[in-house]
């Protein structure tokens, strides 16, 4: 675990302030050591990996592998707090216009080359040019490297949330060797600084990572935490095998060909629990199951109609169908274990009151026109949730019809400005809620690819709360702004978060210290012989 004083650094601004006062000192307690070393762990991954270029891919399947290879300046810990990774610390100027990162010493890339600030500059240059979330750097005036161990970011304007954005693991700014800065998009050579290095990548089949013997753990910590901390590769190698078929993953786990799997279907969970050779590991709060109304089109532009639908919804039934009973009821857009969680707006959640729904419906002036629920069959939870939502809406007198497409089509339809093709769009939010309130609520700030109010003009009150979330100087004020925004969004029925889905992972019993997280982490994991 981190030293006690670091635990107080929940907020990025606090972290910077602490670092300004005193650099993070080495950990006091004995750091993690591998009880046993060796072995090849074969992990059954459910989705294909197109590329391992972590700067230009937002897919989970890429992150699963790449986040064991690459590291960033700052990242997130187990509780989603910002922590240093390749940076020893960061100093924020009083005017918040300069961030000075001191780099950890003795770090080398998998090609053996020592990491310096020149590599950090090159990494930021590449990200600014082709990084998928290069908007993170929109407010950055520039960066430089005054010496080989220092990297400085100059801001255009003060941005209190900058470190939070910089530490995002959605499409992180990973640090690569300077010589790879001109690698084209999706073709970044897999050379990082992480505890595992790439040995073999056969697209569509597998990726094999082996221990990087020269890896230097971060001595500011004692244990792995989140994506950072004190990381050690106990395993000789980790092979990510692409096993898209759920039954095949279960069979592989049963036979011991796979020592871990990313996801097992609900129908197999009980059998796996009874198997003494397998440890079942539920990963709670994997994503928020959600539907978004089209506020640019009648009658979902009408608040009373949206509230009628909200009053009709029974979340237990929707989540049960969506997840095969692997869910938690959850108000809003953060999970209860997160520091920014709030139940603001809870009175709008899981109302399930047909009489109230019919009252609102009457007030809305609904005339029985067809209401189209846009969903897809690529993601079974979205389709099943839409089916139950349709039935619940029909039960209160709404002529609800499903419009089923594939996922890319439904995304494209949902993104059209002033679209009249749909009324409710079903989705699932995974990474952003895990990243925190700021990352999540950008979905509901106009214009977002997923939120297209009429003429892209968002609700003024919601927009004001969003602005406060980004600009208020203290974390407390920003959290309050988030609570206000969540309450507004729920009260105005601008989104219907149904609950959170639990993903069930599993490993062979001999695999130790594998703790489910946003991506499977293999540092500090060992296998009993």
Q: Is 500 in the site for other proteins (CB under 8 A)?
A: no
Q: Which of 248, 281, 395, 404 binds other proteins (CB under 8 A)?
A: 248
Nearer to other proteins, 102 or 452 (CB): 452
Q: Which of 91, 125, 179, 254 binds other proteins (CB under 8 A)?
A: 254
Report the SS3 class of residue 298.
coil
Q: Which of 74, 269, 382, 439 binds other proteins (CB under 8 A)?
A: 439
Nearer to other proteins, 201 or 517 (CB): 201
CA distances from 389 to 244, 327, 329, 367, 495 (A): 28, 16, 16, 19, 14
Strand (E) positions, 57-182?
A: 74-76, 82-84, 87-92, 98-103, 140-147, 150-155
Is 96 exposed, middle or buried (CB count within 10 Å of its CB: 0-12, 13-18, 19+)? middle
Q: Is 243 in the site for other proteins (CB under 8 A)?
A: yes
Rounded CA separation 479/160 (Å):
13
Site for other proteins in 73-102 (CB under 8 A): none
Q: Which of 36, 40, 236, 257 binds other proteins (CB under 8 A)?
A: 257
Q: Is 58 in the site for other proteins (CB under 8 A)?
A: yes
Residue 40's H or E segment, with its range, is: strand 40-45
Q: Which of 14, 34, 132, 404 binds other proteins (CB under 8 A)?
A: 132
Strand (E) positions, 277-399?
A: 278-293, 327-328, 371-376
Shortest distance, position 439 Cβ to other proteins, whole Å: 7
Shortest distance, position 413 Cβ to other proteins, whole Å: 7
Rounded CA separation 386/254 (Å):
34
Q: What is the per-residue binding string for other proteins in 140-179, x denoting contact by CB under 8 A?
A: ------------------------------xx--------
Q: Is 34 in the site for other proteins (CB under 8 A)?
A: no
Q: Which of 108, 415, 419, 512 binds other proteins (CB under 8 A)?
A: 415
Shortest distance, position 153 Cβ to other proteins, whole Å: 21
Rounded CA separation 300/178 (Å):
51
Residue 310's H or E segment, with its range, is: helix 303-312
Binding window for other proteins (CB under 8 A); candidates: 244-252, 340-348, 396-404, 486-494: 244-252
CA distances from 243 to 40, 44, 171, 343 (A): 17, 6, 24, 38
Rounded CA separation 390/428 (Å):
17
Q: Is 271 in the site for other proteins (CB under 8 A)?
A: no
Phi first, then psi: give them for residue 210, nearest 5 degrees.
Answer: -120, 160
Q: Is 139 in the site for other proteins (CB under 8 A)?
A: no
Note the residues at the interface with other proteins (CB under 8 A).
48, 50-51, 53, 56-59, 132-133, 135, 170-171, 184-187, 202-206, 241-245, 247-248, 251-252, 254-255, 257-258, 378, 405-409, 411-413, 415, 427, 429, 431-432, 439, 442-443, 447-450, 452, 456
């Amino acid at each position: 675990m981190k030293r006690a004083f670091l635990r107080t650094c929940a907020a990025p601004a606090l972290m910077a302030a602490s670092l300004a006062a005193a650099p993070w000192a080495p950990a006091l307690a004995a750091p993690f050591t591998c009880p046993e070393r060796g072995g090849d762990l074969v992990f059954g991954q459910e989705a294909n990996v197109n590329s391992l270029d972590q700067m230009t891919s937002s897919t989970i399947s890429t992150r699963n592998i790449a986040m064991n290879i690459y590291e960033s300046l700052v990242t997130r810990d187990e509780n989603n707090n910002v922590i240093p990774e390749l940076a020893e610390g960061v100093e924020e100027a009083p005017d918040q216009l300069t961030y000075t990162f001191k780099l950890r010493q003795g770090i080398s890339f998998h090609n053996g080359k020592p990491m310096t600030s020149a590599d950090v500059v090159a990494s930021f240059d590449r990200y600014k040019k082709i990084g998928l979330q290069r908007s993170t750097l929109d407010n950055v005036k520039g960066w430089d490297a005054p010496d080989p161990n220092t990297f400085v970011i100059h801001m255009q304007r003060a941005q209190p949330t900058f470190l939070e954005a910089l530490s995002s693991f959605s499409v992180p700014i990973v640090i690569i060797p300077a010589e790879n800065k001109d690698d084209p998009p999706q073709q970044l050579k897999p050379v990082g600084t992480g505890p595992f290095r790439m040995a073999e990548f056969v697209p569509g089949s597998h990726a094999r990572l082996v221990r990087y013997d020269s890896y230097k753990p971060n001595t500011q910590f004692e244990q792995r935490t989140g994506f950072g901390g004190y990381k050690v590769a106990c395993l000789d190698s980790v092979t990510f095998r692409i096993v898209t078929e759920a039954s095949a993953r279960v069979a592989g786990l049963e036979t011991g060909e796979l020592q871990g799997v990313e996801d097992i279907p609900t129908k197999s969970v009980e059998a796996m629990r009874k198997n003494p050779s397998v440890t079942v590991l539920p990963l709670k709060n994997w994503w928020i199951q959600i539907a978004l109304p089209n506020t640019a089109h009648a009658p979902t532009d009408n608040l009373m109609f949206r509230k009628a639908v909200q009053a009709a919804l029974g979340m237990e039934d929707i989540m049960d169908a969506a997840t095969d009973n692997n869910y938690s009821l959850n108000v809003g857009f953060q999970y209860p274990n997160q520091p920014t969680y709030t139940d603001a707006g809870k009175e709008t959640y899981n109302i399930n009151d047909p009489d109230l729904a019919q009252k609102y419906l009457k007030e809305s002036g609904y005339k029985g026109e067809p209401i189209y629920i846009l969903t897809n069959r690529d993601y079974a939870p979205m389709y099943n949730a839409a089916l139950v939502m349709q039935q619940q809406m029909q039960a209160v007198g709404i002529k609800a019809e499903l419009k089923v497409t594939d996922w890319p089509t439904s995304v494209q339809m949902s993104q059209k400005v002033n679209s009249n093709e749909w009324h409710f769009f079903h989705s699932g939010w995974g990474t952003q809620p895990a990243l925190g309130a700021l990352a999540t609520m950008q979905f509901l700030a106009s214009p977002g690819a997923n939120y297209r109010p009429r003429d892209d003009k968002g609700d003024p009150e919601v927009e004001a709360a969003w602005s406060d979330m980004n600009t208020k100087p203290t974390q407390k004020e920003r959290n309050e702004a988030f609570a206000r925004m969540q309450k507004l969004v729920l009260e105005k029925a601008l989104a219907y978060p149904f609950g959170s889905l639990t993903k069930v992972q599993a490993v062979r019993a001999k695999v130790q210290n594998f703790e489910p997280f946003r991506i499977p982490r293999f540092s500090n994991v060992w296998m009993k012989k």
